[in-house]
């Protein structure tokens, strides 16, 4: 992970603009590579601190790709700093870029901390058949075993592959190409940083129109054995637009926390229940004061196979677009 000062994502610019501020123009068909910072763009300074220093053009050059590529530097961010406003800007830029028929696909280089969340946010609104592929790195660019160049080269190949059309937003890491839906970061060290919460990819819901996510407040509340309702009450008193619960097991919380969630639902706050367990999903099967079945009877929605972070993105997107949240979970 890079230590860096957050830089706002640049205003929208199409690939056909003059080659300034990080935009390169290519004649003919090309893959558009958008850089947002992250470990893949980092080098290590004399103190051992990693900072993003490489441009999109430099990343592409290191990759050794044979594809025709256009590049755009959108940001230099640690992905833990990416906001909903940043995602809004990226989503708009990608949508506008795909108006150009010469763009065969899009690659977004991204830090790994929140890559799964950004990937789902883009996937839920991606109507175009051309692929959008996210990639990054576990090692900085000056590491003796850096993985960034190979990840980027293969991600560009995926974006340029006509057989990948119609598959939505994808993530490529360490030779594996995975769908955005159900993705989670599985390791802080292994080169295969990402995995799916289920054995098989889950069906994509029908994409919804792009809408502004920024300004929608949905916190994630972690459950623990014997938790009281204080955390839920504190969150509910801030009048959030929704709440995602990172529950235990298949979607269970303590009776006291369950009662507090029931009161939040009575106040009109949508509640989605996810799980802290990496694999599998939420099933409202258990009774009792905080059991999943009881939460469902109170009006909570199960997150299915989505991680807490992805469940938050799905709920925010549903609220932003006026969509039934259950159709995106």
Q: Are 39 and 1 in contact (CB under 8 A)?
A: yes
DSSP state of 182: T
Distance CA 79, CA 15 (A): 24
Instruction: Give, for 311, the enclosing helix (H) or strand (E).
Output: helix 308-321
112 is catalytic: no
CA 1 distance to own-chain centroid: 16
Distance CA 166, CA 189 (A): 32
Kindly report the number of other CB atoms within 10 A of residue 53's CB atom.
18
**Annotated active-site residue in 23, 36, 39, 135:** 39
DSSP state of 143: S
DSSP 3-state of 281: coil
Give the residue among 26, 2, 21 at the shortest CA–CA distance from 10.
21
Enumerate the active-site residues.
39
């Amino acid at each position: 992970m890079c230590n860096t000062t957050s830089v706002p994502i640049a205003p929208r610019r199409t690939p056909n603009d003059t080659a300034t501020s990080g935009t390169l123009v290519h004649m003919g068909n090309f893959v558009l590579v958008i850089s947002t910072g992250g470990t893949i763009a980092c080098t290590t300074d004399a103190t051992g601190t990693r900072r993003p220093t490489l441009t999109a053009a430099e990343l592409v050059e290191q990759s050794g790709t044979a594809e025709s590529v256009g590049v755009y530097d959108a940001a230099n961010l640690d992905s833990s700093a990416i906001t909903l406003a940043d995602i809004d800007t990226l989503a708009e830029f990608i949508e506008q870029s795909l108006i150009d028929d010469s763009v065969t696909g899009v690659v977004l280089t991204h830090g790994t901390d929140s890559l799964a969340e950004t990937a789902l946010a883009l996937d839920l609104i991606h109507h175009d058949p051309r692929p959008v592929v996210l990639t990054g790195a576990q090692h900085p660019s000056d590491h003796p075993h850096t993985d960034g160049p190979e990840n980027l080269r293969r991600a560009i190949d995926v974006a340029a592959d006509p057989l990948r059309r119609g598959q939505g937003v994808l993530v490529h890491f360490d030779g594996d190409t995975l769908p955005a839906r159900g993705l989670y970061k599985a390791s802080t060290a292994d080169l295969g940083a990402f995995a799916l919460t289920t054995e098989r990819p889950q069906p994509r819901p029908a994409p919804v129109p792009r809408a502004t996510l920024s300004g929608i407040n949905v916190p994630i509340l972690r459950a623990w054995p014997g938790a009281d309702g204080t955390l839920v009450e504190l969150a509910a008193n801030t009048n959030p637009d929704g709440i995602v619960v990172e529950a235990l097991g298949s979607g269970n919380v303590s009776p006291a926390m369950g009662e507090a969630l029931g009161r939040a639902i009575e106040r009109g706050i949508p509640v989605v229940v996810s799980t802290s367990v990496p694999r599998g999903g939420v099933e409202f099967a258990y009774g009792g004061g905080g059991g999943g079945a009881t939460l469902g009877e109170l009006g909570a929605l199960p997150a299915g196979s989505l991680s807490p972070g992805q469940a938050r993105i799905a709920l925010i997107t549903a609220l932003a677009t006026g969509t039934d949240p259950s159709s995106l979970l």
